[in-house]
Structure 1
């Protein structure tokens, strides 16, 4: 593969994909083209230092002309658009479809779109998570294109044979900046870390390590024959908050507990656009998400990190760490 382009290269997910492409022996691109709004940012400079194969294309994913210019002479694309700068479902849906159509017209051989679960649909309209639903809308557009290609019996329909969808979920690294536990006194009188959030004690929180998103992206890129026209839903763990806390305490030796917080307290926490991440948590509390086949995912990727393995690998002990460009946007 000569040239892979990563749209959103300096974000948390995109940079993980770039790092994986730099070391992955299955893909081994000659060039890794990083598309970003600011190739002179600190995040961009850190990536540029990784590998001499990295090159830069600057532009805005909402600008059709800049996408078209950047995508020339590209063999494959990984695309992760961002919701929060514009803050509407329609805007991010447009970005995704601009990238897809630019790639189709340029004859890109393999396009991977990063999506999320369709919260509004899965909850039958009870809970909307705009930054989920915007990506899911593009995924639905991809499926509609695949269906049209089928009814028209297009022998090599681009969406049916050259587009893959990678459906992700919350990052384990959200504990670094979004879900940081606080120092405090526990209910049993010990001092330790208090994890707080509007999640039910018995409901699963679904998550995946960023490095594993990078691995799955490279895996799909390495095998167009298997994954062209296919959708893969990934996670590394589905686990309730009390078990998360138990594993944290076992791995670190630091006393910890989970203290549920009210929805009102979360909304008043000062987090930008708090109503969106609140519903993000509530879809897991209420069970409005698609369960993953973790056994099958571990068959595909035997080194897929569980939460306990992630704790051991990162040596995280409850402190705040810089993980993304902006805590609200990723």
Structure 2
């Protein structure tokens, strides 16, 4: 189903929001992108693709009502403040609730919310704020869909994070057991599921999906990336002591992964809904290889031979 009314995209200049805006535009759905700066490169890129830009801030409820007016649906991905001490869950919940309130006040019909996949107790993986948003959305009277993605394939591009990304020397360090399958998903696939929901709000109402597109061990993933980029990549499993030293949130998560076995998205069922679900090899072939090489080369000191 298409509509003359646009979908409002929060987080439009970020990973999930940007991918969803581009996917909707490609499939003929009008988009209104919520941005703080219309002159930012990401905002300008969306405008070139045909998105309408709306200036607003998730900490400014009045601006959210203005942005939501005249839209049919909202893609909700509120940013959360994160530090070694944990997630800023109260801030995240407040921002998400503000968007839901703005949607109700302006006659929006549908919200698609993207949170995080489950693997246990809410307080152990930054889930509490997201669960508060889900509960508020379910009580709002709006049609809604909940997407819960696992770790992004794009996280291989991170730089400066205490875990994840590929460091100088080809090391990929993370909390996950080296010998157990690790579920991951391409951000473009999150956008694909969101677009399916926006195209058929009735069928997708009150639906919750845990999202993953691949499940291979971190060691296998490192080997796959190494073969693609032509450089050795090795995985290092962070110890419990190292995780605790980074911060209690990561220490708790290290233990939770081993207690629960990690994420449990039903990948075959997801592929039946979206047959083009992306594998890690697919992601690498579709630009991930070059993006990893660019990231590695950008972080190697210029004075050091490559």
TM-score normalized with structure 2 length:
0.82
CA shift at 1:182, angstroms?
3.1
Checking the alignment, whether the CA contact within 8 Å between 1:176 and 1:320 is kept in structure 2 is no
Larger RCO, structures 1/2 (Cα 8 Å, 6+ apart): 1
Provide closer, same or farther for how the CA distance between residues 245 and 209 of structure 1 changes in structure 2, counting only shifts above 3 A. Answer: same
In structure 1, stretches of 5+ residues that fail to align are 147-157, 185-192, 323-330
**Mean Cα displacement is larger for which, 230-239 or 8-17?**
230-239
**Aligned partner of residue 5 in structure 1, secondary structure:** strand
Name 2:22's counterpart in structure 1: 19
Q: How does 1:197-236 map to 2 (within 5 A)?
A: 197-236=174-213
CA shift at 1:310, angstroms?
1.1
**Aligned partner of residue 304 in structure 1, secondary structure:** coil
- Which whole-Å CA distance do the structure 1 matches of 2:11 and 2:253 have between them? 22
Name 1:128's counterpart in structure 2: 124
CA shift at 1:171, angstroms?
1.0
TM-score normalized with structure 1 length:
0.77
Provide closer, same or farther for how the CA distance between residues 307 and 38 of structure 1 changes in structure 2, counting only shifts above 3 A. Answer: same
CA shift at 1:46, angstroms?
2.2
- Which whole-Å CA distance do the structure 1 matches of 2:177 and 2:236 have between them? 10
Tell me the C-alpha RMSD between the 2 structures: 2.7
Matched, 1:169 2:150: yes
- Which of residues 295, 309, 325 in structure 1 aligns to 2:268? 295
CA shift at 1:172, angstroms?
0.4
CA shift at 1:58, angstroms?
1.3
CA shift at 1:282, angstroms?
5.3
Q: How does 1:1-330 map to 2 (within 5 A)?
A: 1-2=3-4, 3-24=6-27, 28-29=28-29, 31-49=30-48, 51-52=49-50, 54-84=51-81, 88-118=88-118, 122-123=120-121, 128-130=124-126, 132-143=127-138, 145=139, 158-159=141-142, 162-177=143-158, 178=161, 179-184=164-169, 193-265=170-242, 275-276=248-249, 279=252, 283-287=256-260, 289-316=262-289, 318-319=292-293, 321=295
